[in-house]
Amino acid sequence: MEWAMALLLNHPNVITKAQNEIDTNIGKHRLVDESDIVNLPYLRCIINETLRMYPAGPLLVPRESSKDCVIGGYNIPGRTMLLVNQWAIHRDPKFWTDPKSFNPERFKGLEAMRDGFKYMPFGSGRRSCPGEGLAVRMMALTIGLLIQCFDWERISEKKVDMTEGYGITLPKAEPLLAKCKPRLEMRNLLA
């Protein structure tokens, strides 16, 4: 969620589009609910693009080859520990146009599905993360509410630093700081 908010603060036009989607589909008389997420495809595009650029776990859970095989021209002996670098796959220009750019529209029409093995923020197959559904719902609900209820801006004119820190879960190097104020339209609901 921190990465998503940082990306949104650096792209205020995306926040505006998401607010417009929420205002159009939900209105200003009630808060976004979990059941509304399916009707907010642009919000899901934002989440997908965030997870593409900054997956929670940049390396998937280790696997072991069951027998000798050849992958990408490399001989892999049986019982070899293999790591999938999804961070690199998600940023590979062979798979993604302008992979370093935040572009939620690239997921338009693919909001609720995976795009082959080039997008797998929760892994793939039998060993994919069992918490994917919960994680995506909680992220969508929380970010949806933050976008619906508040106007956001950076603490200075400078863009938010997107430097990645070190760790298994890909933290931001510098914690996110931002300013927010309640949207005028939402003050009654927030009171």
Q: Which two tokens stand for residue 45?
A: 């595009």
Q: Which string of DSSP letters, residue by residue, matches 14-37?
A: HHHHHHHHHHHHT-SSS---GGGG
Measure the CA–CA gap between 136 and 152, rounded to whole angstroms.
Answer: 22
Residue 149 is assigned to a ligand binding site: no
Helices (H), 76-124: 86-90
Q: Is 79 left (phi over 0), alpha (psi -120 to 50) or beta?
A: left
Backbone angles phi, psi at 32, to 5 degrees: -60, 135
Measure the CA–CA gap between 95 and 89, rounded to whole angstroms.
Answer: 8
Whose CA is closest to 51, among 147, 120, 125? 120
* Binding-site residue set for heme: 129
* Binding-site residue set: 129
